[in-house]
Amino acid sequence: MSDSPVPVTVLGLGLMGQALAGAFLAAGHPTTVWNRSAAKADELVGRGATLAASPAAAVAAGSLIVVCVTDHRAVRELLEPLGDALPGRVLVNLTSGTSREARENAEHTAAQGATYLDGVILTIPSGIGTPEATILYSGPRSTFDEHESALRALGPGATFVGEDHGLAALYDAAMLSVMWGLLNGFLHGTALLGTAGVSATSVVPMLGQGIEAVTGWIARYADQIDAGVYPADDATIDTQRAAMQHLVEESRAAGINGELPAFVTKLADRAVAEGRGGDSYAALIEQFRKSA
């Protein structure tokens, strides 16, 4: 790790790219930027950034190159012509994508003589550079360690998740699945209570308590999953399936969408059919592991 801020380059100045470049500037890094439409650089240039005339010129100016563009195709289109400029550089791709795309980028980048870190930003642009900004990185540990201080300019929650380049994307996917699961449960429950005149706002405190309780169980379920045994200390899948059927019934009786509880029940039905009715909810991991 170096004490004097390394020169960095940010390719792509959408809202997120602008926030990233701004955070590097705020931390004292010599910052070069490039964007397809140069006007987006105006404010950053006013704050001391250098606008490069081309991606190649931008890459030549930095030792740490951060890419944040629309999608994987835009990443490839940007990087492929840069063969000459890349050797010796460290490329950090913060564009959203899949684990397969991350591994593909790593291969291409290696062929171009550069080192690759894949990253996933778990915050909105206004969170960049603040304590809320968690960014997950995967790729060579030594590269992450070497550049950690620069990466921490984007957020103190710079977190290394593993050497497999696909891991940051997989962690992101897992967190999104939890997020949508939680939000959909909240929306379904709120729709249900809404039919009895209960406002969404008044439901929140109690749901918050419930979420906290369930978060506590998750640690115990994780132990069961890793051990491959699912003792039902709390409630069996059989018992929960009866409650799921109630929820389908409640939804139908209230005239709201019952697809979510029907989906949940279908998973439990399969687990019961495989003899898991007496196990804890964690045994449903087996259903999720199967290709549908």
What is the footprint of its own copies within residues 92-131 (CB under 8 A)? 96-100, 122, 124
What is the Cα–Cα distance from 211 to 269, expressed in whole angstroms?
A: 24
> Hey, which residues between 135 and 154 contact its own copies (CB under 8 A)?
136
Task: Give the residue, chosen from 12, 30, 139, 261, that forms a contact with its own copies under the rule CB under 8 A.
Answer: 261
What is the Cα–Cα distance from 292 to 288, expressed in whole angstroms?
A: 8
Task: Give the residue, chosen from 162, 269, 272, 278, that forms a contact with its own copies under the rule CB under 8 A.
Answer: 162
Least separation in angstroms between CB 107 and its own copies: 16
What is the Cα–Cα distance from 217 to 223, expressed in whole angstroms?
A: 10
Least separation in angstroms between CB 122 and its own copies: 7
Does position 51 bind its own copies by CB under 8 A?
Answer: no
Adjacency order of strands within the sheet including 31-34: 50-51, 31-34, 8-11, 64-67, 90-93, 115-121, 134-138, 157-162
> Hey, which residues between 190 and 209 contact its own copies (CB under 8 A)?
190-201, 203-204, 206-209
> Hey, which residues between 224 and 253 contact its own copies (CB under 8 A)?
225-226, 233-235, 240, 242-244, 246-247, 249-250, 252-253
CB–CB of 151/120 below 8 Å?
no
Task: Pick the closer one to its own copies by CB: 36 or 252.
Answer: 252
Least separation in angstroms between CB 276 and its own copies: 13
Task: Pick the closer one to its own copies by CB: 6 or 272.
Answer: 272
Give Cα separations from 116 to 104, 138, 159, 173, 224 (angstroms).
10, 9, 16, 20, 35
What is the Cα–Cα distance from 119 to 16, expressed in whole angstroms?
A: 13
Does position 42 bind its own copies by CB under 8 A?
Answer: no
Least separation in angstroms between CB 152 and its own copies: 17
Least separation in angstroms between CB 200 and its own copies: 4
Give Cα separations from 266 to 7, 237, 261, 283 (angstroms).
54, 12, 9, 14
> Hey, which residues between 65 and 94 contact its own copies (CB under 8 A)?
71
Task: Give the residue, chosen from 52, 258, 276, 277, that forms a contact with its own copies under the rule CB under 8 A.
Answer: 258
Task: Give the residue, chosen from 1, 37, 275, 289, that forms a contact with its own copies under the rule CB under 8 A.
Answer: 289
CB–CB of 256/192 below 8 Å?
yes
Please give the single-letter amino acid code of residue 93: N
As given in the structure block, the two tokens for residue 176 are: 């999104």
